[in-house]
Structure 1
Amino acid sequence: MSGRAQSWVAHLRQGGTTPWLAWRGDPSSDRAGDGVLPGAQQLELLRRINLARESGAQPRARHDREGTRLADRVLAAPAAGRGKADLPLVGVETPAFGPQPVDPATVGAHELLRVASVLLADDLVALGPDPVRTAWARPWRLRFRLVGDPVLVAGWREDLASRGRPEGGPRPFVVAVGRPLDELLAHTWTQRCFETGSTPWVEWLRFWRERDQLPARADLPASVRRWHARRPLVRIVTDLDRLPRQLGVRRLPAVRVPGADQAELARRIAAVVGIRVPAEERPALMRTLQRRIPDTGTDPVVVPAREREWVAASAARTTREVRRAGYAVVGDLAGLAPRTETPAATGAGAADQQVLDLAIRMVVDPGWRTVGHPRAGAERSVEQ
């Protein structure tokens, strides 16, 4: 690599934040050095990480040691998923073929996220899954099978198992948690991001709309039929205040609904985790991330305006199927209809810059990886 590029890389490894085009280099480093120059994505991500670390309160010596180790990880990390190859720096001699040289400061957030997601996936794999809290099953508990809203159901299943009230048993009630269909679709995609990963929100929604079908966990009648329960043992619950009684408990805890930026970052991390570990281990790791990912105050994803007509028609079809099946309804079936108010968000999901800000925050601050880290507070929650 050129002497100027070599000195800039050294500057970044030492915590520097000077942009490439503003870097003049050291007079003593004009001679070209050996080695391969990292891509512009890695270099710019490291510069932004250094900017974020400048506000840290760590002791300087510790900052230097940890900063150098982190810098080496960033510079060696590949870019995950589809996108551009490692981009060369503008002003540095490059081959006549391959990607065009760029100013690192102009590299988009999408490209930087491809590198950041690899770092976070490796951190998550190194952390390992959180232990699942369980208790002896109470013999007098109400037998139930919980289906419906995936985000809420996942949180409540975990809580109930820790209180000695796991699902299953002989002739259980099938309790389906119903929500407005636009919210149910958003939660279905979000939970998938925190389990196995998914396509982007808008693409995922378009996939189902073009087939005029609902995904399995958003289709309440199909979720009930999957368990072959007889009609008297089925409850469709749309009034969440009355849900605890259907499960034989007095209350249910708040469940945090991840924001659009959290879900999108998890989606990207899941793709890398799927390469690092066997398929059966990925959901437990991603659920660990779901518990620990920092809050940002960003709202969850919403259904775009162009899909709302299809969502309304699908909700009406679901309501007709529930009525035709004769299932007991706890609440009002009108609660399955999509919300009528127009959301403030566009429905396109989180902006790449929002997601990148969260990713850099997690790379810089290892608090989310601390052993015994408590479940993050509920910024957007449903509590019973």
Structure 2
Amino acid sequence: MTGRAQSWVAHLRQGGTTPWLAWRGDMSADPPTGVVPGAQQLELLRRINLARESSAGPRGGHDGLSTQLADRVLAAPAAGRGKADLPLMGLETPTFGAQPVDPATVSAHELLRVASVLLADDLVALGADPVRTTWARPWRLRYRLVGDPVLVAHWREDLASRGRPEGGPRPFLVAVGRPLDELLAHTWTQRCFETGSTPWTEWLRFWRERDQLPARADLPASARRWGARRPFVRIVTDHDRLPRQVGVRRLPLVRVPGADQAELARRIAAVVGLRVPAHERPALMRTLQHRIPDTGTAPAVVPAREREWVAASAARMTREISRAGYAVVGDLAALAPRTEPPAATGPGVADQQVLDLAIRMVVDPGWRAADRRVERSVER
């Protein structure tokens, strides 16, 4: 049986796509010797081979680059709390630990544990994209941007590249607001593309159980944290009027990453944190945010069971802003959660969607090209 397993490994290394239970043990190939890889690695490699076939058609041969990728997949560990690889069904049954499985039944969650390691290693090897800046205009308006993390992160980069970085003496604090359900989703999304986070629903539950808002979603708390005095604070809910608050004529539109992109980034960030010092991870993850392929998936959505708490939190934040007397550019009513949320209010994006994106990135390395930098330009 070990010989049959080793011949199947050789089949997969050569680009094969036959499932394990359908493999009849063709021993004509020169099978590798040694320990048989785990079921997660083997099934992921088979699915990568399927994706390569569907994207480029059947191949007449198997090049060295493909073999190198296959070896990387088979040697990659499965990220996550030191869990052992799953043994292959049909081999000797271990007396303890994980039981053998049919690779075809391995969940997308388990396959993502291996795929995230591959992508994290690719990202670390790629390195962080340089930040585009230019000399600061001495006549620029002094400001500091807080609020919606996805929009603020993109606009900070854009303004710095135009010679208008934030900061300076006595800056205006400009807090970018939006409906609180979206603001929470954007806060979690941007955290995934910086230092990583817990899964979306767990993250929301953490804050709901404490009846608190995360720091970057709490606009009045941001003003207090920066010590901004009332005349120097602007709460902006009308984004069409935001450019004037930072001293420019226009700001670029920003597309919020989809839920599958954020979830994959969250998993990759956990591995990147083991590969590089903590201070290097945010720059690498921002590079991923610029380069990750767009799938058209909608951003994360607050589940229906959390919407009552979100509405109460939005009302509380609105009262705090009114009592503090901060200037409002727009309407504070815009901080209330949307009354008609999208239909997708389930627990989050499916693991299979995230796995499809991960395999796409493994198969097509175009996102690692030197001049590859995806501009997000759909939604503010």
TM-score, normalised to structure 2's length?
A: 0.97
Partner of 1:350: 349
Decide whether aligned partners of structure 1 residues 236 and 63 sit closer, same or farther in structure 2, where only a CA change above 3 A counts: farther
Q: How far does residue 25 in structure 1 lie from its aligned partner after superposition? A: 1.1
Contact 2:14 2:62 in 1 (8 A): no
Whether 1:206 aligns to 2:205 is yes
Alpha-carbon distance between aligned partners in 2 of 1:147 and 1:97, rounded to the nearest angstrom? 52
Contact 1:17 1:47 in 2 (8 A): yes
Q: How far does residue 55 in structure 1 lie from its aligned partner after superposition? A: 2.8
Whether 1:21 aligns to 2:25 is no
Q: How far does residue 62 in structure 1 lie from its aligned partner after superposition? A: 8.8
Q: How far does residue 375 in structure 1 lie from its aligned partner after superposition? A: 1.9
Contact 1:46 1:71 in 2 (8 A): yes
Q: Which runs of 5+ in 2 are unaligned?
A: none
Partner of 2:250: 251
SS of the aligned residue for 1:147 comes to strand
Alpha-carbon distance between aligned partners in 2 of 1:269 and 1:145, rounded to the nearest angstrom? 30
Contact 1:3 1:33 in 2 (8 A): no
Partner of 1:72: 71
Q: Which runs of 5+ in 1 are unaligned?
A: none
Contact 2:256 2:376 in 1 (8 A): no
Alpha-carbon distance between aligned partners in 2 of 1:162 and 1:107, rounded to the nearest angstrom? 46
Partner of 1:381: 379
Contact 1:185 1:218 in 2 (8 A): yes
Instruction: Determine what percentage of the aligned residue pairs are the same residue.
Output: 85
Partner of 1:3: 3
Partner of 1:43: 42
Q: How far does residue 61 in structure 1 lie from its aligned partner after superposition? A: 8.4
**How many equivalent residue pairs?**
380
SS of the aligned residue for 2:175 comes to strand
Deviations 1:96-152 (A, max 9, x none): 322111100000000000000000000000000000000000000000000000000
Decide whether aligned partners of structure 1 residues 278 and 313 sit closer, same or farther in structure 2, where only a CA change above 3 A counts: same
Partner of 2:53: 54
Alpha-carbon distance between aligned partners in 1 of 2:88 and 2:56, rounded to the nearest angstrom? 32
Q: How far does residue 274 in structure 1 lie from its aligned partner after superposition? A: 0.2
Partner of 2:85: 86
Contact 1:84 1:111 in 2 (8 A): no
Partner of 1:287: 286
Alpha-carbon distance between aligned partners in 2 of 1:82 and 1:111, rounded to the nearest angstrom? 13
Letter in 2 for 1:5: A
Alpha-carbon distance between aligned partners in 2 of 1:266 and 1:33, rounded to the nearest angstrom? 34
Contact 1:144 1:173 in 2 (8 A): yes
Letter in 1 for 2:172: F
Alpha-carbon distance between aligned partners in 2 of 1:203 and 1:92, rounded to the nearest angstrom? 37
Alpha-carbon distance between aligned partners in 2 of 1:59 and 1:163, rounded to the nearest angstrom? 48
SS of the aligned residue for 1:348 comes to coil
SS of the aligned residue for 1:73 comes to helix
Contact 2:7 2:32 in 1 (8 A): no
Letter in 2 for 1:247: V
Partner of 1:267: 266
Decide whether aligned partners of structure 1 residues 241 and 78 sit closer, same or farther in structure 2, where only a CA change above 3 A counts: same
Return structure 1 stretches of 4+ with deviation > 4 angstroms: 27-30, 58-63
Contact 1:83 1:111 in 2 (8 A): no
Decide whether aligned partners of structure 1 residues 196 and 27 sit closer, same or farther in structure 2, where only a CA change above 3 A counts: closer
Q: How far does residue 381 in structure 1 lie from its aligned partner after superposition? A: 1.7
Alpha-carbon distance between aligned partners in 2 of 1:12 and 1:329, rounded to the nearest angstrom? 61
Alpha-carbon distance between aligned partners in 1 of 2:257 and 2:341, rounded to the nearest angstrom? 20
TM-score, normalised to structure 1's length?
A: 0.96
Contact 2:39 2:85 in 1 (8 A): yes
SS of the aligned residue for 2:54 comes to coil
Partner of 1:301: 300
SS of the aligned residue for 2:145 comes to strand
Q: How far does residue 56 in structure 1 lie from its aligned partner after superposition? A: 3.7
Letter in 1 for 2:21: L
Partner of 2:222: 223
Deviations 1:237-264 (A, max 9, x none): 0000000011110000011200000000
Deviations 1:323-376 (A, max 9, x none): 000000000000111100032112412100000000000000000000011324
Decide whether aligned partners of structure 1 residues 90 and 374 sit closer, same or farther in structure 2, where only a CA change above 3 A counts: same
Decide whether aligned partners of structure 1 residues 69 and 312 sit closer, same or farther in structure 2, where only a CA change above 3 A counts: same
Partner of 2:112: 113
Contact 2:188 2:200 in 1 (8 A): yes
Deviations 1:242-301 (A, max 9, x none): 000111100000112000000000000000000000000000000000000000010001
Q: How far does residue 28 in structure 1 lie from its aligned partner after superposition? A: 5.4
Alpha-carbon distance between aligned partners in 2 of 1:33 and 1:355, rounded to the nearest angstrom? 31
Q: How far does residue 58 in structure 1 lie from its aligned partner after superposition? A: 9.2
Decide whether aligned partners of structure 1 residues 114 and 234 sit closer, same or farther in structure 2, where only a CA change above 3 A counts: same
Decide whether aligned partners of structure 1 residues 113 and 177 sit closer, same or farther in structure 2, where only a CA change above 3 A counts: same
